[in-house]
Every structure is written in structure tokens, then in C-alpha cells.
């Protein structure tokens, strides 16, 4: 009988489940798509928690149906979107749609909390933003008081799925609880929560990978499972993607380029940033995961490609690299990292060549990535020995090589960047291995490693210095 674990990733578009063997082999996977969140111009982003439940079960059911009869599922783990919360009554039924990770209505509440919980913010090195879950909770109390009066329990998206699978709705983990104000240093909810009227509503927080109990017998029967399956608490989706990458050593980063650029590294100490542009999650093994997110990323490529094939533009860009065209490739207003400026606008050096413009964009994102890594270094992080590249941007060999050349750091593309796979690795660390680090070493694989070409080092340093000067001259940061 082959033993395996299952990871479930909850996203805004649905759920994905993967069954993974002890050695990291994916045995089966499946997804279930749901309607996107309801959004409007007010910043609202809401989704029915009941849809989360349907998605999780259907993805799990389809995943398990793809397994052979000789596979025995031992443990299941769930990750979900960071900052998404739902409000439950005394019978653990939702009293209002879930407020999603990208709901931005609580800007005033975030400002208030940064003042009211200023000592907490200084201690943990985090400032509240409108997308954080605690401001959303306070927004609900202020703007939907009748609904809030019915609330007896507040769950993060991941907590809610744990509850539907096991009946235990009162358990959460440090990763999902960070944006709700959980103090990762003291490992407790702030005492000021009693003044906010929230103390009795918040979940019990235990380390990621803590058992929430066994899969409900009714679900076990519906899924056709012969043996009881333990369900353990998970992490946020970005943390799960980090675990999937294989990054595990001090100083390593997993940087994700999708529409935007997200950073997450590993540190043996809390990284504090007075400017509030960096915040730290907790690694399941106890280390810290400092991270930040820039609004630059792959979005700029589609805006300026004029409909041309990006792989063809990559090939032509590689032949022209490097270029001295300077740009800060923001396509929307506002920047979060490596500096914060809500009114920041990107800038581009004009070129009559689409190919050269494309190259300047690839370089521009990579220069912001280098700037971000230098920011982490200035905050006390050790030199970065390797960057693990994930997201759609990692699929381009040309872009990966340009990034390695500009970062002057080896760039690793892992075999799997799936958050559901990361949740499965976390589950495996609890049943097959002695630690998360051991599970990562045994289950993750490198697909390709891009070595930096040292001859481009001086040029890259000069380009970043020029980019910083230009940003400073434009008043984007001081």
C-alpha cells in the first residue's frame, strides 16, 4: 500500500487538490472552478463561503478519484488566500459573504488600527493595510452592526475549510492570523482586542501543521476512503508556494512574477521595517519569512507588446541584451515595495522598436527585483545565495537569464510552484519526515538553474543606481 498526503489550495477562482507520494511524486490532481468574487467600485470583494466549501470538496473528490486502489491517504492540509475572512453564527453558519483578500473598503479602519495598535505594529514590524483582515473585521463591526451582532466566531478562509472537513472551526495558524493582528513575537492576540470587542470571536492559534482532527466520517464515506484521514492546519497561499519551491536555507528567496512581483525569503530572526513595506510570516519550522510585494511585474509586458507573441519578443530581446533604456515598469498608479507611494507612476524611455521596449521592461522588473533584495539586505537579511523563481514570469528562459545577470545571483526554477503541492509538503512533514526542512529536501526538485554572467555585474549595478536616481528626481521616494 502506497502512502500519500493531500494538499488543497483555496483561491478566488476555485480550489485545487493534489495527492503526493512520500518522494514528492504527484499521483493525482484536480481543480474545481467557481464564480469570481463580487466586486464593485467601492472596493468591495465578496464571495460566498458556501462556495468555498463546495469547491474544496469537489476538488478533493476528483483528485481522490484519480488514484489507484493501492494508495492510502494519511494526512490532508489546506492553504488559502491571505486576508480573507468570514463571520459565523453560533451554529458555525456564515452570516455574511466572505470578505476577500483584495477587498479594500477598510482603509480608514487600517489607519485607525495603525494608531490604536502602534506598539503592536512596532513590535512585529508590520503596519495594517486596507487588504488586511483585521481592518475588514473592524469595518464589518462599524458598517454592518446588525450582522456583526450575530457573529459568534471569525474564521479565515483556511480555518473555515478546516471546519467543514473536521467540525473544528476554532483553530487557525500564525500564517493566516498575521493580517488579523496576531502577534507572532508574543504568540498571542493583542490585549487591546478586548477594547475592540473581538477577544471572544478570534480563533485559537497553533503552529501550522497542528491537527484539527480527523476527516468527518460522513465525508470519509462520501469520498470512498477506507481509513480515517488526519487534517492539519495550513498556511497562506503565498507561504504554501514558498514551501513548494524548495527554498529552505537561510537567506534564500522565492520571488514570484505574475501580474506583480512578490518576494518571500527565509531568516532566522524577525526582520523589522519602520516604513512598513516588509512584513514577516512564520515558517512552519520556526524561522521567519520576510516578504514584500511590488506592483511591477508581468502586467507591463502585455500592455506594451502590441499583441505580438511574447516568446518571439523574448528571443529578439536576448539578442539585444543589455540595453541602457531605463524604466520603472508600473502600469497602474501606486507602488508598495521597495518603496511605498500611493501616487507613484511608472516611466519609460521611448523607443521606436517594440523589441527594445520589451527588453527594457524585462530589465526594469529585474532591476526592481534587485532593489528589493538590496532592501532586505539593508534590514539585516544575509546575502541571498539563490533565488527560486516562480509564477508565469519564471516560464521564460530569456527572462530568467536576464534576472540572474542583473541580480548576479543564481536563479532556480523549481519543478513545482503549486501552492497545493506546498500544502502537501507541509502535511508530509508531519507524517513522513521530522521537519519541514527535511520534507522540502526530499520532495522538491530543481527544473533548471540559471547562472549569472559576471561580465554584466558592473553594468547592472550602474543601471540600478541610475534607476534609483531617476525615481528620486521624480519624487517617487526620498
Task: Please tell me whether residues 179 and 126 are part of one structural domain.
Answer: yes
- 119 plus 205 within the same structural domain: yes
Name every residue whose Cβ is closer than 8 Å to that of residue 123 and which is 6 or more positions away in sequence. Answer: 183, 185, 186
| Closest by CA position to 172, among listed 193, 185, 189 | 189
User: Between the ranges 134-148, 297-311, 343-357, where is the mean pLDDT highest?
Assistant: 134-148
pTM, whole model, 2 decimals?
0.89
Last-in-domain residue among 185, 205, 234: 234
Distance of CA 354 to the CA centre of its chain: 32
The strand pairing partners of 288, in sequence order, are: 267, 282
User: Is the domain of 196 the same as that of 277?
Assistant: no
Residue 277 CA to residue 256 CA, distance in Å, equals: 17
Same domain, 326 and 225: no
Q: Are residues 271 and 403 in the same domain?
A: yes
Residues 109 and 25 in one domain: yes
* 417 occurs within a structural domain: no
Number of domains in the chain: 2
* CATH number of the domain enclosing 117: 3.30.420.40
Question: From start to end of 14-172, where are the E strands?
Answer: 14-21, 26-33, 38-39, 45-47, 71-79, 85-88, 98-99, 153-156, 171-172
The answer to whether residue 176 sits within a structural domain is: yes
Average pLDDT for 284-304: 90
Domain-located, residue 419 = no
Q: Are residues 87 and 227 in the same domain?
A: yes
Instruction: Give the CA dihedral 6, 11, 13, 16, nearest 10 degrees.
Output: -10
A 10 A CB-CB count for 149 gives 10
Q: Write down which residue in 211, 234, 257 finishes a domain.
A: 234
Parent domain of 185: 2-234
Report whether pLDDT(235) > 90.
Answer: yes
pLDDT tens-place string over residues 38-92: 999 999 999 999 999 999 999 999 999 999 999 999 999 999 999 999 999 999 9
349 and 213 assigned to the same domain: no
Among 190, 210, 234, the domain boundary falls at 234
Same domain, 226 and 251: no
pLDDT attached to residue 279: 86
pLDDT of residue 370: 98
> For residue 108, what are the CA distances in angstroms to 101, 130, 142, 154, 337?
17, 8, 11, 21, 21
Residue 437 lies in a domain: no
Pair 195, 58 in one domain = yes
Q: Note whether 152 and 183 are same-domain residues.
A: yes
Amino acid at each position: 500500500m502506497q502512502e500519500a498526503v493531500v494538499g488543497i489550495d483555496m483561491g478566488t477562482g476555485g480550489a485545487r487538490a493534489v495527492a503526493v507520494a512520500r518522494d514528492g511524486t504527484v499521483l493525482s490532481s484536480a481543480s474545481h472552478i467557481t464564480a469570481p468574487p463580487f466586486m464593485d467600485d467601492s472596493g468591495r470583494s465578496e464571495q460566498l463561503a458556501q462556495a468555498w466549501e463546495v469547491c474544496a470538496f469537489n476538488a478533493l473528490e476528483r483528485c481522490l478519484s484519480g488514484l489507484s486502489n493501492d494508495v492510502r491517504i494519511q494526512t490532508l492540509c489546506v492553504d488559502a488566500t491571505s486576508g480573507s475572512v468570514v463571520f459565523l453564527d453560533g451554529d458555525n453558519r456564515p452570516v455574511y459573504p466572505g470578505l476577500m483578500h483584495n477587498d479594500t473598503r477598510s482603509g480608514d479602519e487600517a489607519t485607525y488600527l495603525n494608531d490604536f495598535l502602534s506598539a503592536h505594529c512596532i513590535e512585529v514590524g508590520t503596519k495594517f493595510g486596507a487588504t488586511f483582515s483585521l481592518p475588514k473585521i473592524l469595518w464589518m463591526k462599524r458598517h454592518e452592526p446588525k450582522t456583526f451582532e450575530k457573529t459568534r466566531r471569525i474564521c479565515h478562509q483556511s480555518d473555515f475549510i478546516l471546519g467543514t472537513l473536521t467540525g473544528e472551526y476554532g483553530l487557525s495558524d500564525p500564517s493566516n492570523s498575521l493580517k488579523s493582528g496576531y502577534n507572532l513575537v508574543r504568540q498571542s492576540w493583542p490585549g487591546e482586542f478586548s477594547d475592540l470587542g473581538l477577544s471572544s470571536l478570534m480563533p485559537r492559534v497553533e503552529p501550522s501543521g497542528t491537527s484539527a482532527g480527523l476527516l468527518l466520517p460522513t465525508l470519509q464515506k462520501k469520498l470512498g476512503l477506507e481509513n480515517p484521514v488526519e487534517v492539519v492546519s495550513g498556511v497562506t497561499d503565498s507561504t504554501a508556494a514558498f514551501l513548494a519551491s524548495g527554498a529552505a536555507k537561510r537567506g534564500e528567496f522565492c520571488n514570484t512574477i505574475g501580474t506583480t512581483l512578490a518576494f518571500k525569503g527565509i531568516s532566522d530572526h524577525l526582520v523589522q521595517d519602520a516604513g512598513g513595506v516588509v512584513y514577516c510570516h512564520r515558517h512552519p519550522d520556526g524561522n521567519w519569512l520576510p516578504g514584500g510585494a511590488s506592483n511591477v511585474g508581468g502586467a507591463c509586458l502585455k500592455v506594451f507588446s502590441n499583441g505580438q507573441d511574447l516568446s518571439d519578443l523574448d528571443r529578439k530581446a536576448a539578442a539585444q541584451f543589455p540595453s541602457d533604456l531605463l524604466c520603472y515598469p508600473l502600469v497602474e498608479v501606486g507602488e508598495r515595495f521597495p518603496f511605498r507611494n500611493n501616487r507613484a507612476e511608472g516611466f519609460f524611455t521611448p523607443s521606436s522598436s517594440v523589441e527594445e521596449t520589451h527588453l527594457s521592461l524585462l530589465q526594469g522588473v529585474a532591476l526592481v527585483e534587485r532593489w528589493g533584495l538590496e532592501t532586505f539586505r539593508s534590514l539585516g537579511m544575509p546575502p541571498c545565495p539563490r533565488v527560486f523563481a516562480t509564477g508565469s514570469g519564471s516560464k521564460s528562459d530569456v527572462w530568467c537569464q536576464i534576472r540572474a545577470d542583473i541580480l548576479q545571483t543564481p536563479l532556480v526554477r523549481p519543478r513545482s510552484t503549486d501552492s497545493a503541492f506546498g500544502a502537501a509538503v507541509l502535511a508530509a512533514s508531519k507524517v513522513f519526515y521530522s521537519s519541514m526542512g527535511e520534507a522540502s529536501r526530499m520532495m522538491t526538485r530543481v527544473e533548471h538553474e540559471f547562472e549569472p554572467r559576471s561580465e554584466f555585474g558592473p553594468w547592472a549595478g550602474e543601471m540600478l543606481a541610475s534607476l534609483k536616481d531617476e525615481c528620486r528626481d521624480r519624487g517617487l521616494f526620498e
